[in-house]
């Protein structure tokens, strides 16, 4: 079957589905959806439809990015715009079926928004909501719209058009087009993709390889997982176009084993491509030959570094080596190799299909196009977003993210994971592009964006990242192996009340050395959290070191719990719940916490009835009038 | 006398287990071609079957791939996924990623450690539970996350974690 015939068939299938008289229900079944309980919702949905004798087609889809609203469904009744419902429970699911499917009341009180032509009273258009309005969807265009396990859905929505066009061009023309688009590596460093391809294209070798880096290891990042789960073909199409441009007949996808659903979806996608002749020895009758293999990672963060990744694919310990030679000259098994990350590949097909100028129309002068971010942490609307480069952090946090929960204040935004840094609240109007973020001491990184509020201690947060990088350092080079350990030791001392004057300067000196002398990106960027937290939050370090105080009250060694004698009613709830029996005091006696026994778990604070609120958590100070021993409760007059 | 027969029984059991292991390896290994880049996939399959990487299996794999045993051991110890000792029947993974950390995963980990009486990386003496920490599960929007036997539990709280354990990890 030719690609034209395949396309015709796919479009027919898609149209038949769209014009079906049946009710259609799309349910988000990505990892996020499942974790939020989508499987239970699906069960209820099936049972209830059976019970009510309703004919409906159920379609599991990927993540539309509104993770905060999971479990999420989209209900499509023929002739009406579709309606999204979020934060579903089994009870709400049953109500929606009875009210909307049977009684035709779309329940505007429960609906998030509508999509498609027409309107429904009292329900906004989904893409007009503040969470979606500033977004531009190129890479994520199909996520949540199509069945990720159906290649026909992908093709019916313009899939493999980019590849078809590329195959009609000369490889050099494809590279030129990608260069012209201004696309830069979305894995973190931001190297111009077309130039990278050119190096590998120009290199001499009897065989060349392309690799897709799907080893999304940054804690706080899940863009690539969601994309692979929601639309695997968009990534595969990009890889094929790159392989054609470079002249690589073989490719690998290196994906972390922690993403079983993404792996499964990739395997299904590859099998479908083989059936359609989109992978094989003569793709689309052009003579282009390409085969691809999936390599599962085995749990090593450093394997996201390209030379370590290649060592791992070869079956060795994933340890980086010095460059040059760069992979474009000598990569996998010593052959020219081009590595791009999932998101970079996912942008390629649209660039080819719609043209470099169209793509370059988005973004800033030096950072073109869009960028995916996983928005998480202390933000109201967590989720997966795609925004044009150059958007401000403020728009992301406050408009898309809906601000900070519980009326708290924003303290910082962490970008780039353990390799990135903290951007303080004062820089919240910073445009999100490669240069601005680097200038602020952070990096674009792969797209993790963790919002930090006033309750977070920056020293503790820095310690958290260093704990990670220190554990993940492969140990090959000394600056990283010992430098991360030394920095971590100092941070532990500071957070546990053993900080000494001069520690901050020592940390800075160490950080600069590790940054400039480590072998690979892991060590070169590991000091970024240290340097940015000192740069913007030095007062917090001083407070820990000099006053032995943690004002965010996160550092356990620096906090204490006390029971206020004028509030305690001697009810014994806290004393009974204390796991280490550190609370003394009988009925109608003011309770007292034995500070030596207390493990600072906070159970007494959570357990004290709100009408008393007698337990307090403090750092660096002690409330006055705390008795040494239990005393009788003074009756209120 | 009694002691000797016990140790003979134990010996017989070990031999029997080893024979079963050898048999299983004889089935798996021929499905591979014997190239070095198959080492990690083979170790992954072996671990999936036995729950860990038995010494005997690593020696067999080294021979099969014509690699020094030290290389196989080196790879087995480098990657976090590989275990050199048997793990529990139920595997509890607590995510310690950034988003989970900000939303209190340390307290959840402490609660589970307390309930099971083991620390992260440990296995209960009855081989019922193993407790691990994971750098990031990529379910950050539902932080904090705990994964029990590959089922992801999102928006975890200390209380919910306690309840799930009390119900038996299912």
Instruction: Write the DSSP assignment of A45-65 as a string of letters.
Output: HHHHHHHHT--EEEEEE---S
Average of pLDDT values for B109-138?
A: 88
* A377 touches B at CB < 8 Å: yes
Higher model confidence: residue A459 or residue B7? A459
Confidence of residue B163 (pLDDT cuts 50, 70, 90): confident
- Residue listed under structure tokens 């694919």: A313
- Residue-wise DSSP of chain B: -HHHHHHHHHHHHHHHHHHHHHHHHHHHGGGS---GGGHHHHHHHHHHHHSS--HHHHHHHHHHHT--HHHHHHHHHHSTT--SS---SEEEEEE-SHHHHHTTHHHHHHHHHHHHT--TT-B-TTSSEEEEEES--S-GGG-S-EEETTEEE-S--HHHHHHHHHT---
List CB contacts (< 8 A) between A226 and chain B.
138
Cis peptide, bond prior to residue A552, ω within 30 of zero: no
Q: What is the pLDDT of residue B1?
A: 46
Cβ distance of B141 and A70 shorter than 8 Å: yes
Residues of B at the A interface (Cβ-Cβ below 8 Å)? 35-41, 43-44, 65, 71, 74-75, 78-82, 96-103, 107, 110, 114, 134-143, 145, 150, 152-155
CB atoms within 10 A of CB A476: 19
Give pLDDT tens digits for B39-87: 999 999 999 999 899 999 999 999 999 999 999 999 999 999 999 988 8
* A452 touches B at CB < 8 Å: yes
**A455-459, A557-561, A607-611, B133-137: range with lowest mean pLDDT:** B133-137
Q: What is the pLDDT of residue A600?
A: 85
Cβ distance of A317 and B78 shorter than 8 Å: yes
Interface of A with B in 86-145 (CB under 8 A): none
Cβ distance of A384 and B141 shorter than 8 Å: yes
Whether A419 shows a pLDDT value over 60: the answer reads yes
Cβ distance of A298 and B97 shorter than 8 Å: no
Closest by Cβ to B136, choosing from A70, A218, A382: A218
Average of pLDDT values for A518-535?
A: 96
Measured in angstroms, the CA of A225 and the nearest CA of chain B are apart by: 7
List CB contacts (< 8 A) between A464 and chain B.
98, 101
Higher model confidence: residue B5 or residue B134? B134
Q: What is the pLDDT of residue B5?
A: 61
Cβ distance of A221 and B153 shorter than 8 Å: no
Cβ distance of B138 and A318 shorter than 8 Å: no
Q: What is the pLDDT of residue A427?
A: 96
* A378 touches B at CB < 8 Å: yes
Q: What is the pLDDT of residue A593?
A: 96
* A299 touches B at CB < 8 Å: yes
* A374 touches B at CB < 8 Å: yes
Average of pLDDT values for A74-79?
A: 92
* A448 touches B at CB < 8 Å: yes
Measured in angstroms, the CA of B50 and the nearest CA of chain A are apart by: 16
Residue A304 near residue A263 (C-beta atoms within 8 A): no
Average of pLDDT values for A185-209?
A: 94
Closest by Cβ to A220, choosing from B43, B71, B98: B98
Cβ distance of B114 and A579 shorter than 8 Å: yes
Phi, psi dihedral angles at A623 (to 5 degrees): -60, 150
Cβ distance of A36 and B78 shorter than 8 Å: no
Cβ distance of B37 and A313 shorter than 8 Å: yes
Residues in Cβ contact with A624 at an 8 Å cutoff, skipping those fewer than 6 apart: none
**A316-325, A533-542, B111-120: range with lowest mean pLDDT:** B111-120
Measured in angstroms, the CA of B98 and the nearest CA of chain A are apart by: 5
Closest by Cβ to A315, choosing from B36, B107, B134: B36
List CB contacts (< 8 A) between A68 and chain B.
141
Decide the pairing of beta strands A56-61 and A250-255: unpaired
Q: What is the pLDDT of residue A460?
A: 94
Measured in angstroms, the CA of A294 and the nearest CA of chain B are apart by: 10
Give the mutation candidate from A131, A258, A415 for the B interface (greatest B CB count, under 10 A). Answer: A258
* A454 touches B at CB < 8 Å: no
The DSSP output letter for A96 is H
Whether B170 shows a pLDDT value over 60: the answer reads no
Average of pLDDT values for A449-469?
A: 94
Cβ distance of A219 and B102 shorter than 8 Å: no
Residues in Cβ contact with B65 at an 8 Å cutoff, skipping those fewer than 6 apart: A315, B34, B35, B36, B38, B39, B42, B72
Cα–Cα distance between A238 and A227 in angstroms, integer? Answer: 13
Interface of A with B in 200-229 (CB under 8 A): 216-222, 225-226
Give pLDDT tens digits for A320-354: 999 999 999 999 999 999 999 999 999 999 999 99
Give pLDDT tens digits for A116-161: 988 998 999 999 999 999 999 999 999 989 999 999 999 999 999 9
Q: What is the pLDDT of residue A218?
A: 85
**A147-161, A270-284, A400-414, B93-107: range with lowest mean pLDDT:** B93-107
**A27-31, A313-317, A393-397, A459-463: range with lowest mean pLDDT:** A27-31
State the pTM of this model.
0.91
**A62-76, A162-176, A478-492, B61-75: range with lowest mean pLDDT:** A62-76
Give pLDDT tens digits for A271-327: 999 999 999 999 999 999 999 999 999 989 999 999 999 999 999 999 999 999 999
Confidence of residue B3 (pLDDT cuts 50, 70, 90): low
CB atoms within 10 A of CB A456: 22
Residues in Cβ contact with B88 at an 8 Å cutoff, skipping those fewer than 6 apart: B123, B124, B127, B128, B129, B130
Q: What is the pLDDT of residue B141?
A: 76
List CB contacts (< 8 A) between B138 and chain A.
31, 216, 221-222, 225-226, 258-259
Q: What is the pLDDT of residue B45?
A: 96
């Amino acid at each position: 079957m030719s690609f034209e015939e395949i396309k015709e068939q796919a479009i027919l299938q898609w149209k038949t589905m769209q014009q079906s008289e049946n009710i259609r229900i799309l349910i988000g079944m990505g990892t996020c959806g499942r974790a939020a309980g989508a499987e239970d919702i699906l069960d209820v949905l099936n049972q209830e439809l059976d019970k009510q004798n309703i004919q409906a087609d159920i379609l599991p889809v990927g993540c539309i990015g509104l993770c905060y609203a999971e479990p999420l469904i989209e209900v499509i009744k023929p002739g009406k715009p579709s309606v999204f419902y979020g934060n579903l429970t089994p009870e709400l699911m049953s109500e929606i079926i009875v009210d909307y499917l049977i009684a035709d009341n779309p329940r505007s009180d429960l609906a998030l928004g509508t999509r498609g032509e027409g309107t429904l009273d009292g329900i906004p258009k989904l893409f007009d909501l503040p969470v979606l309005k500033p977004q531009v969807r190129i890479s994520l265009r199909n996520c949540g719209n199509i069945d990720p396990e159906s290649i026909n859905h992908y093709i019916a929505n313009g899939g493999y058009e980019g590849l078809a066009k590329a195959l009609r061009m000369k490889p050099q023309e494809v590279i030129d087009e990608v260069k012209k688009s201004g696309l830069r590596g979305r894995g973190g460093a931001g190297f111009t993709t077309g130039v990278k391809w050119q190096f590998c294209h120009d290199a001499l070798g009897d065989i060349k390889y392309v690799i897709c880096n799907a080893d999304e290891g940054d804690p706080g990042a899940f863009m690539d997982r969601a994309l692979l789960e929601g639309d695997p073909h968009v990534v595969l199409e990009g890889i094929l176009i790159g392989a054609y441009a470079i002249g690589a007949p073989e490719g690998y996808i290196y994906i972390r084993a922690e993403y079983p659903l993404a792996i499964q979806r990739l395997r299904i996608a590859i099998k479908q491509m083989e059936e359609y002749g989109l992978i094989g020895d003569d793709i689309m009758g052009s003579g282009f030959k390409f085969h691809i293999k999936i390599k599962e990672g085995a749990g090593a963060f450093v394997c996201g570094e390209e030379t370590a990744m290649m060592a791992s694919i070869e079956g060795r310990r994933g340890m980086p080596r010095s460059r040059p030679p760069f992979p474009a000259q000598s990569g996998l098994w010593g052959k020219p190799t081009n590595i791009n990350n999932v998101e970079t590949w996912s942008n390629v097909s649209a660039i080819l299909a719609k043209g470099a100028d169209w793509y370059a129309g988005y973004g800033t002068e030096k950072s073109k196009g869009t960028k995916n971010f996983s928005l998480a942490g202390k933000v109201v609307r967590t989720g997966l977003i795609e925004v044009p480069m150059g958007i401000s952090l403020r728009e992301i946090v406050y408009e898309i993210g809906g601000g900070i929960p519980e009326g708290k204040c924003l303290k910082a935004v962490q970008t780039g994971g353990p390799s990135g840094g903290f951007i303080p609240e004062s820089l919240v109007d910073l445009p999100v592009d490669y240069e601005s973020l680097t200038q602020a001491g952070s990096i674009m990184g792969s797209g993790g964006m963790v919002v930090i509020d006033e309750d977070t201690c920056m020293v503790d947060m820095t310690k958290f990242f260093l704990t990670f990088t220190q554990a993940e350092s492969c140990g090959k080079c000394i600056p990283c192996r010992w430098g991360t350990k030394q920095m971590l030791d100092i941070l532990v001392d500071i957070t546990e009340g053993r900080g000494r004057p001069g520690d901050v300067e020592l940390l800075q000196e160490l950080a600069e050395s590790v940054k400039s002398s480590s072998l690979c990106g892991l060590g070169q960027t590991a000091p970024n959290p240290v340097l940015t937290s000192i740069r913007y939050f030095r007062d917090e370090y001083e407070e820990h070191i000099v006053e032995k105080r943690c004002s965010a009250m996160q550092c356990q060694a620096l906090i204490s719990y006390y029971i206020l004698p004028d509030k305690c009613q001697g009810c014994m709830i806290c004393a009974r719940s204390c796991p280490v029996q550190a609370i003394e005091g009988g009925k109608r006696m003011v309770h007292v916490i034995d500070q030596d026994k207390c493990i600072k778990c906070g159970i007494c604070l959570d357990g004290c009835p709100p009408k008393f609120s007698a337990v307090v958590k403090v750092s660096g100070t002690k409330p006055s009038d705390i008795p040494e021993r239990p005393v009788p409760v003074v009756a209120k007059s | 006398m009694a002691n000797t027969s016990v140790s003979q029984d134990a010996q017989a059991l070990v031999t029997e287990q080893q024979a079963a292991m050898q048999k299983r390896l004889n089935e798996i290994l021929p499905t591979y071609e014997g190239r070095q880049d198959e080492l990690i996939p083979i170790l992954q399959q072996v671990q999936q079957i036995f729950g860990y990487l038995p010494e005997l299996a690593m020696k067999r794999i080294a021979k099969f791939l014509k690699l020094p045993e030290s290389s196989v051991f080196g790879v087995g110890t480098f990657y976090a996924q590989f275990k050199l000792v048997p793990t529990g029947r139920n595997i509890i993974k607590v995510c310690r990623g950034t988003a989970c950390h900000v939303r209190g995963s340390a307290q959840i980990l402490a609660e589970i450690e307390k309930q099971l009486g083991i620390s992260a990386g440990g296995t209960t003496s009855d081989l019922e539970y193993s407790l691990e920490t994971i750098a990031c599960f990529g379910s950050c929007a539902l932080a904090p996350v705990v994964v029990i036997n590959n089922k992801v539990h999102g928006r975890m709280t200390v209380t919910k974690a306690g309840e799930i354990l009390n119900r038996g990890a299912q």
